Amino acid sequence: MSELLVHPSRDPEPDGTLLRVTPESAGWRHVGFEAVALGGAGAARAERDTGDRELCVVVVSGAVHVRSPHGEWRDLGGRPDPWSGRPDAAYLPPATHVTVEAAGDEAEVGFCWAPAPGGGAAARVLPGDEIDVETRGHGALERTIHPILMGDRAAESLLVCEVLTPPGHWSSYPPHKHDRDDPPHETCLEETYYHRVAPARGFGLQRVYTDDRTLDESLAFGDRDCVLVPRGYHTVSAPPGYDVYYLNVMAGPTRAWAVANDPDHAWTLDPQPASR
């Protein structure tokens, strides 16, 4: 089994945690991620202490109340699934105790973590209705982007976004990388991909590889699987008949998203390439 593919637990933790990635488990320095299901037959709330890290709570589905010393933010979210509208989120700085509670029958949240030794940014709600939805690509490369906590929104290390890939389309395409700290040309960012698939019995494909092929893995992921991208080029494919969603968490020594496309495939950016 690949070390880059993390499956959700068949027996969630008492607070609803389905999946957890830490810097220690991933073998890197910056990114952490947790997927938590609240309500239903499980726990209605989850609590966290941010410690020396910053946290972005993304409401993947359902609605939640978020409480901390910075205030109580009620009824964040509300979409029934990740394909039905823009996401609400909340940002919490270091040294914060936070409680996230389901506001209805069920909710799913992503806890997105990164180091914040400088104290992070101001605690606040990140309303989905303030997100400028982006469409990238053309033809079978077209996908929809929800920038949740990217460079235009304050944080110390974290970068967070969602991507919706229609059936039969590719995203994170052409394959690109961000494993060299050379801003503004490229930045070094660890990254997690938390996937949802609809219908849930489906699957998607992801490739992660380096120029010298010392890392070269092609992975089949299912609903609620998480793929780790420690380095190298990466790309995602949604098979016909299945919508693929992923929540990206990125962090590294420089808080900027600057990527290098695989030169072998950069020609696909042109809708009408003159030559292959």
What's the 3-state SS for 15-32? Answer: CCEEEEECHHHHCCCCCE
Tell whether pTM > 0.85: yes
pLDDT at 1 over 90: no
pLDDT at 274 over 90: no
| Dist. CA 225–CA 234, nearest whole Å | 16
Q: Which band of pLDDT confidence, cut at 50, 70 and 90, is reported for residue 135?
A: very high
Within-domain flag for 194: yes
Within-domain flag for 65: yes
Within-domain flag for 4: no
pLDDT at 205 over 70: yes
Per DSSP, helices labelled H in the chain are: 23-26
Contact 29, 233 (CB under 8 A): no
Within-domain flag for 56: yes
pLDDT at 158 over 80: yes
Number of domains in the chain: 1
pLDDT at 275 over 60: no
Within-domain flag for 226: yes
Within-domain flag for 6: no
| Dist. CA 36–CA 59, nearest whole Å | 10
| Dist. CA 10–CA 16, nearest whole Å | 11
**pLDDT (0 to 100) of residue 52:** 98
CATH number where 20 lies: 2.60.120.10
Within-domain flag for 274: no
Which residues span the domain enclosing 167?
Answer: 11-269
- Which residues are CB-contacts of 234 (< 8 A; sequence separation ≥ 6)? 172, 175, 176, 177, 191, 206, 207, 208, 209
| Dist. CA 153–CA 149, nearest whole Å | 6
Within-domain flag for 187: yes
